[in-house]
Amino acid sequence: MTKTYQPLRSVRWEDDELVLLDQTKLPEQTEFLTLKDVKQVWDAIERLKVRGAPAIGITAAYGVYVAVRHFPAATAEELLAEVKKQADYLATSRPTAVNLFWALNRMVKIAEIATAQGQSPEAMKRMLLVEAQAIQAEDEAVCRAIGEHALTLFSDGIGVLTHCNAGGLATAKYGTATAPMYLAHEKGWKIKVFADETRPVLQGARLTAYELQQAGIDVTLICDNMAAKVMANGWVQAVIVGTDRVAANGDVANKIGTYGLAVLARAHNIPFYVAAPLSSIDLNTPTGKEIPIEEREADEIIRGMGRQIAPNDIKVYNPAFDVTPHELVTAIITEKGIVRAPYKENLRALFEK
């Protein structure tokens, strides 16, 4: 009997409103938010109520429509100017996940096309909503395709370690790193997942462990400092993670702690895979050195989960991401196939296919 994955959708356009699952409340509470204005959308992205590169892009796309749907533009040019203004505002919510900028650029492009076609402001607004819905629908198909390619690297009974949440909650459905886990489960394979808790915001403990358990997948939660022991035990045959931005040379920005995992995987001769939709690959950023790394507030560490665990006013360094050099990446798994080194040439070729 095939087990179909029942998604817990993090972003929905429902009854003509943008509805988000508040990921800061999981796993204890399943709470939905209806976002009525662009400031609420900005806050939801910045405060990680919605997070994960593709989900951020989808939310920002709907956010542009929410921002302008009632704007009283007399002409398409006036509305185009407002679309650009609101897209620029949403672009300030978080700096690292390139999907945010990729999705906002798509929304501005639609507004430019509508203007060039001489569409009315009302027609442009309809085109904007359709584009946001297309971005969401495409992401679901992209994630499933990533899963199918990744599955060719897995086998029944495999042990897989993952970091943070690159799951269904971070995308339209299936996730990127978790897509092969769901598809393997659908095929009836026995797959053992080890999920890093992923300090300080615990996306692995709160989200990955939660969504995989809900789907009936064998998942074991470990603290980040246990990954080496799990690998040394021989329990891991592959590491697979998501990404917020792949640079043109194949350097990978992802949740803080990913770089350390890649070093551990290399030390244990374990393949290190990055699941990356083309919407997360940024050929305009030459190397990982040029990827902006978000630094978040000290309280995420000092008072992260509701209780104080460090002295007041202690100095804190809280980068939300790190960069894994492409030399440590075994393969980048995209919806168009599996990409291996030399990454600079092979990533560019993806966009020429």
Ligand X SMILES: CSC[C@H]1O[C@H](OP(=O)(O)O)[C@H](O)[C@@H]1O
86 binds ligand X (CB under 6 A): no
Q: Which is nearer to ligand X, 54 or 121 (CB)?
A: 54
Distance CA 327, CA 19 (A): 40
Query: Strand, helix or coil at 247?
Result: strand
Please choose, out of 26-34, 47-55, 57-65, 183-191, the segment that lies near ligand X by the rule CB under 6 A.
47-55
Which tokens go with 130?
A: 């359709």
- In angstroms, how far is the first alpha carbon of the chain from the final one? 37
Q: Closest by alpha carbon to 281, among 250, 312, 260?
A: 250
Distance CA 5, CA 174 (A): 8
Site string for ligand X, 110-149 (x = CB under 6 A): ----------------------------------------
Q: Which is nearer to ligand X, 80 or 244 (CB)?
A: 244
The answer for residues whose C-beta is within 8 angstroms of residue 290's C-beta and 6 or more apart is 247
Q: Which is nearer to ligand X, 52 or 180 (CB)?
A: 52
Query: In sequence order, what are the beta bridge partners of 331?
Result: 273
Q: Closest by alpha carbon to 274, among 158, 156, 136, 180?
A: 180
324 binds ligand X (CB under 6 A): no
Which one of residues 76, 170, 191, 302 is an interface residue with ligand X (CB under 6 A)? 170
> Which amino acid is it at 343?
Y
Q: Which is nearer to ligand X, 150 or 241 (CB)?
A: 241
User: Of the listed 139, 196, 244, 282, which one is catalytic?
Assistant: 244
β-pair type (281-282, 245-247): parallel
246 binds ligand X (CB under 6 A): no
> Residue ranges for the binding site for substrate?
51-53, 94, 203, 254-255
Site string for ligand X, 263-302 (x = CB under 6 A): ----------------------------------------
Please choose, out of 45-53, 114-122, 150-158, 184-192, the segment that lies near ligand X by the rule CB under 6 A.
45-53
As measured in angstroms, the least distance from the Cβ of 100 to ligand X is 10
**How many chain residues touch ligand X (CB under 6 A)?**
16
Which one of residues 86, 249, 254, 324 is an interface residue with ligand X (CB under 6 A)? 254
Report residue 109: phi and psi, to 5°. -60, -40
Please choose, out of 6-14, 169-177, 223-231, 232-240, the segment that lies near ligand X by the rule CB under 6 A.
169-177
Which one of residues 125, 149, 245, 255 is an interface residue with ligand X (CB under 6 A)? 255
- What is the H or E stretch that residue 275 is in? strand 272-275
Known catalytic membership, residue 299:
no
**Distances from the Cα of 164 to the Cα of 42, 175, 195, 264, 321, angstroms:** 22, 12, 8, 16, 11
Please choose, out of 239-247, 262-270, 301-309, 336-344, the segment that lies near ligand X by the rule CB under 6 A.
239-247
- What is the H or E stretch that residue 281 is in? strand 281-282
Neighbouring C-beta atoms of residue 159, cutoff 10 Å: 19
Neighbouring C-beta atoms of residue 166, cutoff 10 Å: 34
Q: Contact positions toward ligand X, by CB under 6 A?
A: 51-54, 164, 166, 170-171, 176, 203, 241-242, 244, 254-255, 320
Question: What residues act catalytically?
Answer: 244
